[in-house]
Amino acid sequence: MTIDTLFRNARMADGTLASIAVTDGKIVATALEAATHGMTAASDVDLGGRLVVPGFVEGHIHLDTSFYGDTWRPYVPYKAGFDVRERVNVQHRNMATAAPMAERARNQLEFCIANGSTRMRSHVMVDGSVGLKSLQTIAAVREQYRHLIDIQLVAFPQSGLLTCPGTAELLDAAFDHGADLIGGLDPAAVDRDVRGHLDVVFGISEKRGVGIDIHLHEASTMGLFSIEEIAARTRANGMQGKVTISHAYALGDIPVDAVRRVADLLAKSGVAIMTTAPGARAFPPVLALRDAGVTVFGGNDNIRDSWSPYGDGDMLRRAMMIGHRSDFRTDNELGIAFDLVTSAGAKALGIANYGLHVGARADFVTLRATHVPEAVVAVPKGRSVYRAGVCIVRDDVLLGEVRRQ
């Protein structure tokens, strides 16, 4: 058997040392070291016994609003508790004096890639306040980096959908300018019209044949009502497996028996939940949702922007944070935290042929760890990242020769 590259001494999740054979950017064989003697490779790479894991899936980020690599901007506290509209106004003021969006997005994107992300979903502002400019800018940046990372773009009505004139028309037009999914934002709390809001979102989804990812910061019973309405629309429109609710804080506010009921509803509706396990906010109970069959995955969300001074684009660190806030301690639970930023994220984003199996694209990360639970708690650095079998990051540094097209 003749192959392009044979990666030797790869430590797999079960602790065994194996070889990974890659041809035309795809995995064509995985075998214990003793079974590779008959293989002939144009290139032979020794991974030195490092743990090999699939490329990370960054399930929720905002490339257009990150200030990563820009001048430090002190966080402006809320005047009276969490308020989306207040925060959007702060964001507009900050962005007016920030470095060019494309420059900031490239800084953030390169750091995410250097940390091991090979797939990403980014929400981008599309509303009456910014028009289509942000989307066009981020779509152009995506094109520059398409050989290094796959990026889905969500048209996101950050300033409200119904309450911001012209936004519905812009959201529809976004799919002529690079958008892949339609977004939404707090149908009850921001637009004060859950059904009207969802009419627009699901209407564009049906017209354009695209998936949905809705920001839902609403708390307690208000958020629960929106969740139930989204699930009902998903079933009615036959959208199972194509709808995500991001944040869904309300699921962390309600009693256990209510969580079980809603979890069953979400599972039957095929609605995924994205969580960041943020700061002091309540967040969805990961284990209860997964036990019911709900796809739960992770994302970094805000990174050094107007919403939070924290974050670095490292999905392995995010897995650790989700595990820590969920009080995950056993090896099995730590494995679940890891799944949220790998396989579960791939499922939610509709990524086919993901992982370390034959037929999958050879996107993987090498870690200085003996197994996945250790990797989650230690968050080791010194990572190398391979895209379609080609090294693009060595020891945390994005290689200059592959940086951008």
Do 305 and 163 share a structural domain?
A: yes
> For residue 38, what pLDDT band results from cuts at 50, 70 and 90?
low
* Average pLDDT over the chain, rounded to an integer: 94
Nearest Cα neighbor of 76 from 308, 311, 312 is 308
Distance CA 347, CA 403 (A): 28
Half-sphere exposure at residue 33, Cβ-oriented, CA atoms within 13 angstroms: 14
Does residue 154 share a domain with residue 302?
yes
User: Based on the domain organization, do 244 and 186 belong to the same domain?
Assistant: yes
Domain identity same for 113 and 226: yes
- Report the alpha-carbon angle 285-288-291, nearest 5: 140
- Specify the CATH number for the domain of residue 158: 3.20.20.140
Q: For residues 22 and 389, is the Cβ–Cβ distance under 8 A?
A: yes
- Which tokens hold the place of 348? 């939610």
d(CA 169, CA 167): 5
Q: What would the mean pLDDT of 175-190 be, rounded to a whole number? A: 97
Res 116: pLDDT: 98
Confidence of residue 22 (pLDDT cuts 50, 70, 90): very high
pLDDT band at 298 (very low <50, low <70, confident <90, very high): very high
Distance (Å, rounded) from C-alpha 319 to C-alpha 342? 10
Positive or negative: CA dihedral 76, 79, 82, 88: negative
Q: What CATH number does residue 46 fall under?
A: 2.30.40.10
Same-domain status, 120 and 60:
yes
pLDDT in tens, 93-114: 877 778 899 999 999 999 999 9
Please indicate, yes or no, whether residues 45 and 82 belong to a single structural domain of this protein. no
Tens digits of per-residue pLDDT, 306-335? 778 888 899 999 999 999 999 999 999 999
- CA dist 162 → 27, 169, 214, 226 (Å): 47, 11, 14, 16
Over residues 143-163, the pLDDT tens digits come to 999 999 999 999 999 999 999
Domain shared by 74 and 142, yes or no = yes
- Regarding whether 371 and 280 lie in a shared domain, the answer is no
Among 348, 376, 393, the domain-final residue is: 348
Total number of domains constituting the chain: 2
Tell me how many degrees the CA angle 113-115-120 measures, rounded to the nearest 5. Answer: 45
Q: How many CA atoms lie within 13 A of 166 on its CB side?
A: 7
The whole domain housing 61 covers 56-348
267 shares a domain with 332:
yes
Distances (CA, A) of 170 to 89, 92, 162: 20, 19, 12
* More confident of the two residues 286 and 84: 286
Q: Are residues 297 and 171 in the same domain?
A: yes
